Chain A
Amino acid sequence: MTVFAAASLQPAFDKIAAQIHVDATFNYAGTQTLTAQLTQGAEADVFASADKTQMKTLLDAGLIAGAPEVFAHNRLEIAVAKGNPKGIHSLADLARPGLVVVLADPSVPAGKYAQQALAKANVTVHPASLEPQVTGVLSKVALGEADAGIVYVSDVVTSQKVQGVPIPDSQNVVADYPIAALKNAQHNSNAAAFIAFVLAPDGQSILKAAGFEPA
């Protein structure tokens, strides 16, 4: 069975895979990349997306079997170095001159959400880089090359190398993660079992431990 999953799901899905004893291969990448691969005919059994828009693209292309179900939510957080040496406490602080801020590219969900959050906070940031995956943002902060980046709460929870600065609800964006089986799935029963596990209490508690909010 092949699962195409948003890059941010990797820590949680690797744990789930270890528990369900199903022979599964995971393709983790930016949701946008996965959508492009699937619309170009890549074969997969399950698609777990980091936003509803991408899922809708595949629905409209007639590639999804049944109705997608939202299985988790994620919020944004500011990732900074351990100990927060630059004293970053809000989105507004990211506009400080001299600060190296890295964001995800607006073409991937994390980048789109980051832009929405910055717009809500009425903050203009001049990023040093627009990474093609949210994991790129995390690694630039973890390596100390960037002072701050906007990532998912789940990224901060699973990374040992960064610290999170919360973004208040009024400025935050809630990302919905839908999951669905694909129409051309070769392993229908495994796909259904995997989706059922993700939605069941056991799967939900693994997701919660990885920093996601339950569906």
Chain B
Amino acid sequence: MALAGLGLLLFLLPLAGLVVRAPWGQVGQELLAPQTATALGLSIFCSVTATAIALVLGIPLALVLSRTTGTLRSVLRALTTLPMVLPPVVGGVALLLAFGRRGLIGAPLYQLFGVQIPFTTTAAVIAETFVAMPFLVIAIEGGLRSLDQRYEEAARALGANSWKVFARVTLPLLRPAIFSGAVLCWARALGEFGATITFAGNLPGRTQTVPLAVYIALESKPEAAIVLSLVLLAVSLAILIGLRDRWLGEP
């Protein structure tokens, strides 16, 4: 019990610190400050776009993962979950080496078309997708594996083609898993810092999302940093409470 309490304290104390030190009288003013509003807007745009891309790419990936077995599955699964355990800064460096001006894909893109990805909003979206998509894939794969396949079989027996089975039977059954996966993915994208600052840099209005703004402001305007941190905290808490055990607890 004592250890459990200590564990809980470790989580609660930093949060309490934020709440106690928050300049409550200035919250409205700090939130409306142009730099804060810009960072918030950019953060919402980037995290929503990253989640949309993760849905488009992640659902098929989860389908493939759930239908493979053995070594192939272990390898695919390890590759998919790698960004979850990789330090995000390392992820950022890896993204530079792939999409940077001298990167694997970035170099031909730059030489042939003059396209430069680093330091753009696109880079911020790519960084967030890279780091956050695994959360979506894992949630949906879990949903697929616990799916009762008899519904799909029945639909097939009734003459539905594979696309129709997927769209009319599988997807609706998967709705809770897709929803919780998308929300977790979005929350992770919203909080992304390391890969973004390494790969996309830090420029207000273009790549400076809320976590980056917090980091920069901490050194010059601590009040603004605390207010922005509170916003992120409130959003994350609301998401976790909203999801509750029934979705997070699913295998």
* Chain B residues within an 8 Å CB radius of A36: 218-219, 222
B36 to chain A, nearest CB (A): 15
User: Does A131 reach chain B (CB closer than 8 Å)?
Assistant: yes
The listed residue (B96, B102, B207, B219) touching A107 by CB distance below 8 A is B219
Contact with A along B190-218 (1 / 0, CB 8 A): 00000001001111100100000001101
Chain B 20-34, CB-CB to A under 8 Å as 1, else 0, gives: 000000000000000
Number of interface residues of A (CB under 8 A): 22
Answer whether residue B100 sits at the interface, using C-beta atoms and an 8 A cutoff: yes
Chain B interface residue count, CB cutoff 8 Å, equals 20
Is the contact region of chain A dominated by helix, strand, or loop, or is it mixed? Answer: loop
CB neighbours of A203 from chain B (8 A)? none
Number of A-B contacts (CB under 8 A): 56
Confirm or deny: B101 has a beta carbon within 8 angstroms of a beta carbon on chain A.
Answer: yes
Of A32, A102, A127, A143, the contact of B220 (CB 8 Å cutoff): A32
Q: What is the chain A residue whose CB lies nearest that of B208?
A: A130
Q: Which residue of A lies closest to B100 (CB)?
A: A145
**In the complex where A145-B96, A145-B101 touch, is A128 in contact with B203 (Cβ < 8 A)?**
yes
User: Does A178 sit within 8 A of B, measured CB to CB?
Assistant: no
> Shortest Cβ distance from B92 into chain A, in angstroms?
11
Given known contacts A32-B220, A132-B216, A100 and B116 CB-to-CB distance under 8 angstroms = yes
Q: How far is the CB of B111 from chain A (nearest CB, A)?
A: 12
Q: Which residues on the B side are within 8 Å of A127 (C-beta)?
A: 203
26 of the cross-chain contacts (CB-CB < 8 Å) are A30-B219, A102-B201, A107-B219, A107-B220, A127-B203, A128-B119, A128-B201, A128-B203, A129-B119, A129-B201, A129-B202, A129-B203, A130-B202, A130-B203, A131-B201, A131-B202, A132-B197, A132-B202, A132-B219, A136-B197, A140-B201, A143-B100, A145-B96, A145-B101, A145-B102, A145-B118
By a beta-carbon cutoff of 8 Å, the part of chain A in contact with chain B is: 30, 32-33, 35-36, 100, 102, 105, 107-108, 127-132, 136, 140, 143-146
